[in-house]
Amino acid sequence: EAQVTQNPRYLITVTGKKLTVTCSQNMNHEYMSWYRQDPGLGLRQIYYSMNVEVTDKGDVPEGYKVSRKEKRNFPLILESPSPNQTSLYFCASLGTLYNEQYFGPGTRLTVT
Amino acid sequence: ILNVEQSPQSLHVQEGDSTNFTCSFPSSNFYALHWYRWETAKSPEALFVMTLNGDEKKKGRISATLNTKEGYSYLYIKGSQPEDSATYLCASQYNFNKFYFGSGTKLNVKP
């Protein structure tokens, strides 16, 4: 089954404690992206990757890092999380044939 | 940051009503317009991807149109059913790699 997986699904952590949210897709897509969703706002793009070792900033990259060492994986790293990073995070991959974006199940992060 | 706007923010209709939503977006460097259906506690699911001015797409009772010259897209649902209740998101894609989402239209269909 074609899918994008994320882990963990829920995470409560404290300010300053480094964390990683993993994202993996099994569709051999080159393009992957991370979004955050906050109440009253649309999904906002954090980082995207066009291919292995090719990443670039979206609109809200501050406080986040990403890496793309393998095509299927695109982890999101928060080196020193702060309460304003409390949000719902989605990873997505984009198929080039029909240009459809596939979303993971989401990770709800709370930083206290 | 580009502004993608959706209206209305929310909509309450009776089962059997037909309804439509609007998505407006900047036209410069436009690549494609995406519509998604997003149910509570699930992830957004792609409905349509449209690229050309005048594009029309249809899937069952749901259809969409695109006007890239004036920067808007309409999503239509004919004969709404309770299972159509969800938030409908539009996203405008620029230069292939950048996506800008509207804040969504929340549809509630009463039986």
pLDDT digits (tens, 9 = 90+) for B76-94: 999 999 999 999 999 999 9
Count CB pairs under 8 A between chains A and B: 54
Mean pLDDT, residues B31-39 taken together? 96
Task: Grade residue A40 by pLDDT with cuts at 50, 70 and 90.
Answer: confident
- For residue B61, the Cα-to-chain-centroid distance in whole angstroms is 14
Report the distance separating Cα A8 and Cα A21, nearest Å: 6
The one-character DSSP state at B11 is: E
* Beta-carbon separation of A100 and B46 below 8 A: yes
pLDDT tens digits, residue range B40-72? 889 999 999 999 999 999 999 999 999 999 999
Half-sphere exposure of A80 (CA within 13 A, CB side): 2
Mean pLDDT, residues B23-35 taken together? 94
* Beta-carbon separation of A45 and B100 below 8 A: yes
- Chain B residue numbers with beta carbons less than 8 Å from the beta carbon of A101 are 34, 36, 46, 91, 99
Task: Grade residue B24 by pLDDT with cuts at 50, 70 and 90.
Answer: very high
A105 in contact with chain B, both atoms CB, cutoff 8 A = yes
* Beta-carbon separation of A42 and B89 below 8 A: yes
Task: Grade residue B1 by pLDDT with cuts at 50, 70 and 90.
Answer: confident
- Residues 29 to 68 of A: which have CB under 8 A from any B CB? 31, 33, 35, 40-45, 48, 50, 56, 58-59
pLDDT value at residue B56 = 96
A90 DSSP β-pair partners: A35
Report the distance separating Cα B16 and Cα B70, nearest Å: 31
* Beta-carbon separation of B97 and A31 below 8 A: yes
A10 in contact with chain B, both atoms CB, cutoff 8 A = no
Q: Is B25 exposed, middle or buried (0-12, 13-18, 19+ CB in 10 A)?
A: buried
How would you write A12-78 as a 3-class SS string?
EECCCCCEEEEEEECCCCCEEEEEEECCCCCCEEEEEEEECCEEEECCCCCCCEECCCCCCECCEEE
Task: Grade residue A95 by pLDDT with cuts at 50, 70 and 90.
Answer: confident
Closest CA of chain B from A23, distance in Å? 14
Picking from B83, B75, B85, the residue whose alpha carbon sits closest to that of residue B35 is: B75
